Amino acid sequence: MSSTDPQRHTRQRARILDAAARCFSRYGFQGASMARICADAEMSPGHLYHYFPHKKALIEAMIVRELEEVHARFEGLRDAPDVVEGLLALIEGGRGWTDEQNRLMLEVMAEAARNPAVGDILRHHHAAITTLVAECLAAGQARGQVEPSLDPEVTAAMLQAVVDGAVARQVRAPALDPDRWIDHLKHLYGRMLRPSGNAS
Amino acid sequence: MSSTDPQRHTRQRARILDAAARCFSRYGFQGASMARICADAEMSPGHLYHYFPHKKALIEAMIVRELEEVHARFEGLRDAPDVVEGLLALIEGGRGWTDEQNRLMLEVMAEAARNPAVGDILRHHHAAITTLVAECLAAGQARGQVEPSLDPEVTAAMLQAVVDGAVARQVRAPALDPDRWIDHLKHLYGRMLRPSGNAS
Amino acid sequence: MSSTDPQRHTRQRARILDAAARCFSRYGFQGASMARICADAEMSPGHLYHYFPHKKALIEAMIVRELEEVHARFEGLRDAPDVVEGLLALIEGGRGWTDEQNRLMLEVMAEAARNPAVGDILRHHHAAITTLVAECLAAGQARGQVEPSLDPEVTAAMLQAVVDGAVARQVRAPALDPDRWIDHLKHLYGRMLRPSGNAS
Amino acid sequence: MSSTDPQRHTRQRARILDAAARCFSRYGFQGASMARICADAEMSPGHLYHYFPHKKALIEAMIVRELEEVHARFEGLRDAPDVVEGLLALIEGGRGWTDEQNRLMLEVMAEAARNPAVGDILRHHHAAITTLVAECLAAGQARGQVEPSLDPEVTAAMLQAVVDGAVARQVRAPALDPDRWIDHLKHLYGRMLRPSGNAS
DNA sequence: TATGAATGAGTCTTCATTCAT
DNA sequence: CATGAATGAAGACTCATTCAT
């Protein structure tokens, strides 16, 4: 009986999304053809269209998955005893980002800037992270770990801008020693967040 | 003699580059068809190809022009009596960036990440600005305006990351009050750069 | 299993090659547009490109098929009891060549003269026929059917030059009575090949 | 005063026709663009169109010039004391044909097969040469230099077929030693033409 | 579930030709 | 006579998508 096997369904979707991520990061959303993605996923076009009705749907699903993974990295912040240490650890974690992820994020940003649907996805995700980080920052201020004059919301947005800047840096200055860069970033970011007079 | 009029030639190229910038920012490099650019430039395809041999050439010329304009904004830094003030003024200037420029920069970053030719253009331009800013920072350190422990080169790279982050922010959080954002940015950036104990 | 049906595949290729031969003979390789060939093959361009990746590939495949057909006509020579009779029969067979085949051969020759890939195909095919004919001529010499002083290889090349000349004649002098022409050709060719003193 | 200078006019036309011959032989009639021919003739398109109203006109003018040159080579036949020697000398002269001329002839034949206008030019020229050669052959028969049973007209057509075959051979078997080939050709052709029992 | 044949609009690019200067 | 800017209709080829099997 060909009754639906949800597990298999999910596995197939994942296989497609993996292939899509690989292709999109290499060729961009428009540059990656469905045929290429099919080949990469070792699947016929007809079959792939069984799982995603449009290219648009595939792009959006892939973006959502990607952003959820990013979100997951921020969740840990809630349990960090020291918020600032937690945020610095997140920056430290940027060291592990692959080129594929970097390229994908840049592609997502560019697409979000012109495609309202993608823009909404990004903004929704951004708002979720911003809220999370802002809450943590406010808690940190209550505990005296964070400079009290900082606006938590804007500061949370800043963190994400720093991440975007770091992603861009990998393209702009790939030769720059990552250790020097990340150390510098952590040093300055620490100085920013901690109460005045409390250098890292 | 009816030999070529170089002025007209330059004007035509500019007309095309303007149309290209508009189209690329709206649809992306791949999404903008030559036909559309032609229509926007009010020019036949054959004529456009008289000025640019490829779409690639058009893209690259447009990118170079865009980046040179960015570079020009940084040149003023040399004459600023206080480097930090100069840099903060640059951040302040980001307020004037149009959506078109923002989108274009995002598209350029995404393209640079996968297209080596574009990547090289970006890196070359980035290096030029980095050198310029680093020199100004070093001079500022000599004059006691800038925290002496900062590495000028990495700090210059940081500035550009901040700009990239600000560009991304416009997509991520367009609702965020630009005044709040820019003030915050200037405040923190000032704290980063000025000698310790010298809050803005 | 609905895996590829190789028979259908072959039939489709044949359909395309037929259309291509018709169009190429009418308009030349460059003059025949893929769109026209598609229309002739009653097939969409996308579908045609499913079978041939380039126009070049289509041209070459068609040429190979055409030349193989020519080659096949020569194969019979091996079984002819009298080589000279066999060769004269081949010339006689030229009567049956269609205009399409003639035009195609002329187009192939012209293309082979400037396109190395096509040139190689032609030369490879030419060498195969030359070898075949030369062997038959040598055997004929051993049997006393062919003038012994003739160099088999060059004489085989001569035969093909005669064929090329006959193809050209159809263009140069279509009004010339084919019977008169072919009879003349056979007469002279026979005189050439047979041992001296043995007029046809 | 810009009054017409017919000499200059002729020289310009020649310059264009030279460039056209070069380009057509390299790329074919369709493959050679007017722009390329202009570049080769060091002339602007507007100027070139002053001399030839169409590409078609240029092609036809070039073909006529080419064929007239061929015709000129045959004119000498009239003064030859021995027709057969004269014809053999013509074959011998084929040794001097350049690749450009060869390719051009092949292109002309292919074009003549499908383009009625070009076909007519070729046939007109062919008829002129045929008449010339046939007359010489008839005179030769009267003088006992040529086998009397040969039909002069068909034999004249044969000569031209031999030339076409020789042109094709240069493409089919460029490696074949030209000396061997031409000697063979002359030997056989002599045997064909001379009265029976009169080997070369 | 899975295949891949099939479509046709759309992409970039070329080219013969015209025209203002 | 001479230039080269300008046109726009093709040309080869691609690709998202559908559908019969």
| Per-residue pLDDT reduced to its tens digit, A114-148 | 999 999 999 999 999 999 999 999 999 999 999 99
Amino acid whose CA is nearest the C1' of E1: A2
Task: Tell me how far apart the alpha carbons of residues C49 and C34 are, in angstroms, rounded to a whole number.
Answer: 10
Q: Give the DSSP per-residue string, D89-110.
A: HHHHHGGG--HHHHHHHHHHHH
Check if residue A47 sits with its Cβ under 7 angstroms from strand F.
no
Amino acid letter at B126?
H
Tell me which DSSP letter residue C94 carries: G
Cβ contact B161–A163 (<8 Å):
no
pLDDT number for residue C197: 62
The answer regarding whether domain B63-193 maps to CATH 1.10.357.10 reads yes
The closest CB to that of A188, out of B103, B127, B158, belongs to B158
pLDDT at residue C184 above 70?
Answer: yes
Indicate the pLDDT class of residue A19, thresholds 50, 70 and 90: very high
Q: How far is CA B66 from CA A126, B20, B121, B124, in A?
A: 28, 11, 11, 13
pLDDT at residue C10 above 80?
Answer: yes
Closest CA of chain D from C84, distance in Å: 15
pLDDT digits (tens, 9 = 90+) for D166-199: 999 999 999 999 999 999 889 888 888 999 764 4
SS3 state of residue B113: coil
Check if residue B45 sits with its Cβ under 7 angstroms from strand F.
yes
pLDDT number for residue C3: 52
Give percent of chain C with pLDDT exceeding 90.
85
Residues D36-49 as b/e (b if ≥16 CB within 10 A, e otherwise) read: bbbebbebeeeebb
SS3 state of residue D116: helix
- Chain B residue with Cα closest to A155: B184
Tell me which DSSP letter residue A195 carries: P
Q: Which of chain E's bases lie under 7 Å from a protein CB?
A: 1-21
pLDDT number for residue B3: 53
- Residue A2, classified by CB atoms within 10 Å of its CB into exposed (0-12), middle (13-18) or buried (19+), is exposed
B187-192 long-range contacts, Cβ below 8 Å, gap at least 24?
A: B188/A158, B188/A192, B189/B87, B189/B88, B189/B91, B189/B162, B190/B84, B190/B88, B191/A191, B191/A192, B192/A188, B192/A191, B192/A192, B192/B147, B192/B158
pLDDT at residue A1 above 70?
Answer: no
Q: What is the mean pLDDT of chain C?
A: 93
Q: Taking the C-alpha atoms of B1, B7, B10 and B16 in order, what is their torsion angle to the nearest 10 degrees?
A: -90
The residue extents of the domains of chain B are 1-53, 63-193
Please give the CATH topology (third level) of the domain spanning B1-53. Arc Repressor Mutant, subunit A (1.10.10)
Tell me which DSSP letter residue A53 carries: S
pLDDT at residue C123 above 80?
Answer: yes
CA of D9: nearest nucleotide by C1' is F1
pLDDT at residue C182 above 50?
Answer: yes
pLDDT number for residue A197: 61
Stated in angstroms, how far is C5 CA from F20 C1'?
14
Give percent of chain D with pLDDT exceeding 90.
84
pLDDT digits (tens, 9 = 90+) for D101-130: 999 999 999 999 999 999 999 999 999 999
Structure tokens at A55: 């290219």
pLDDT number for residue C187: 86
pLDDT number for residue C191: 83
Mean pLDDT by 10 residues, chain B (200 residues): 72 96 98 98 97 97 97 94 94 92 98 97 97 97 94 93 95 93 89 71
Cβ contact B109–A109 (<8 Å):
yes
- For residue D166, the chain C residues in CB contact (below 8 A) are 161
Beta-carbon count within 10 A of B82 CB: 14
Q: Which residues touch D109 (CB under 8 Å, ≥6 apart)? A: C106, C109, C110, C168, C171, D122, D164
pLDDT number for residue B200: 42
pLDDT at residue C198 above 50?
Answer: no
Structure tokens at D29: 């009639």
Lowest-confidence pick of A161-170, D5-14, D41-50: D5-14
Rounded average pLDDT over D47-68 = 97
pLDDT number for residue D187: 87
pLDDT number for residue B2: 43
Mutate to test the interface with D, among C188, C189, C196, C200 (most CBs of D within 10 A): C188
Cβ contact B109–A25 (<8 Å):
no
